[in-house]
Amino acid sequence: MKILFYDTKSYDKESFDAALSRFPEIEIEYIKYDLDPRTASLAEGFDAVCAFVSSNVGEQTLEILHSKGVSLVLMRCAGFNNVDSAKATELGIRIMRVPNYSPEAVAEHAMALALACNRRLYKAYNKVRENDFSLAGLMGFNFHGKTAGIIGTGKIGAAMCRICNGFGMKVLAYDMYQNPDLKDFVTYVSLDEVLSGSNLISLHCPLTDDTYHLINIETIKKMMDGVILVNTSRGALVKTDDLIEGIRMHKFAGVGLDVYEEETKNVFEDRSDEILEHSTTARLLSFPNVMITSHQGFFTREAMEAIAETTLENALTYAAGKESKNDVK
């Protein structure tokens, strides 16, 4: 099977090349361009393409891929909100993803963001580099004995629940489907109760029509003053303009974001200075209590190995004509 690998970074090639030794049936060609209607025609002669969460796998892209003989799109990620799955089904193109590749990696990063915001680590680091060892402006609060509100308790959210429990926090959760593995230390409540009763709120739910802009000015007003908000899930769960308004209202002790609405591609890549200057992400960076990272929550050795392994296993499952729980429908 020949696979065209879009939007290749050095770490992608390294992890997939390492895994390929166990998959002699598969041949990969790597290119730096991301998948969209302009680049889809490059897949002529390939059986499958490999794309990322930022790729455009919409109707036009799929039609071009179909015309070039591509019958499989391998998403090397869990998210697929940029995939037109109905059109793919119509064209007979199978979409497969990597639903679980290291939930602990993302959950640990979420807690790292929460701790960095709470203890002002970025400010402390910069002060010390300037030979200022004063403690002014660095006071945080104990997580022990406080309440964590986890929105979404799938594998990543469940891992975050366990981390918060380990910190000695009371854990509230909101999810349409309760996770029975968490029953001993997590209390499921309504969304309003999570918002109003939590010192730390961490988002771990998928982006759907129901969760789009879940965090908006109305839900922000329901939060307690001095809350820490963390989002390592999907950028559009948060309405950025409303978040900025909430920050200006002094609602938040800190905000930690690994994802953001403008993340079709990393907002700092391939953007002019003028566009970046006026982006909402850049506006967020102007606030001293906001910490933003570049969608690195998944980025551990273990996660990259799991992504490569599962993606290539998906390719073999397709080649064998077998069904899979990793299919996007």
Contact 96, 73 (CB under 8 A): yes
d(CA 46, CA 69): 7
> By C-alpha distance, which of 17, 9, 53 is closest to 35?
53
Residue 274 annotated among the catalytic residues of the structure: no
Contact 171, 187 (CB under 8 A): yes
Annotated catalytic residue, options 261, 262, 263, 309 = 263
Give the residue carrying structure tokens 């998906």: 314
Residues in the chain: 329
Residue 234 annotated among the catalytic residues of the structure: yes
Q: Which two tokens stand for residue 116?
A: 């960095």
Annotated catalytic residue, options 94, 109, 234, 262 = 234
Annotated catalytic residue, options 97, 109, 120, 295 = 295
Q: Which residues contact 93 (CB under 8 A, 6 or more apart)?
A: 62, 65, 66, 70, 71, 72, 73
Which residue type is seen at 276?
L
Helices (H), the chain: 10-20, 59-67, 85-91, 103-118, 121-129, 155-166, 191-197, 217-222, 240-248, 273-277, 280-285, 301-319
Mapped onto helix, strand or coil, the DSSP state of residue 178 is: coil
Q: Which two tokens stand for residue 159?
A: 């891992």
Residue 109 annotated among the catalytic residues of the structure: no
d(CA 21, CA 26): 9
> By C-alpha distance, which of 194, 232, 276 is closest to 117?
232
Helices (H), 137-272: 155-166, 191-197, 217-222, 240-248
Strands 94-96 and 72-75: parallel
Which residue type is seen at 263?
E
Look at phi and psi of residue 75 and say left if phi exceeds 0, alpha if psi is from -120 to 50, else beta.
Answer: beta
Give catalytic residue positions.
234, 263, 295
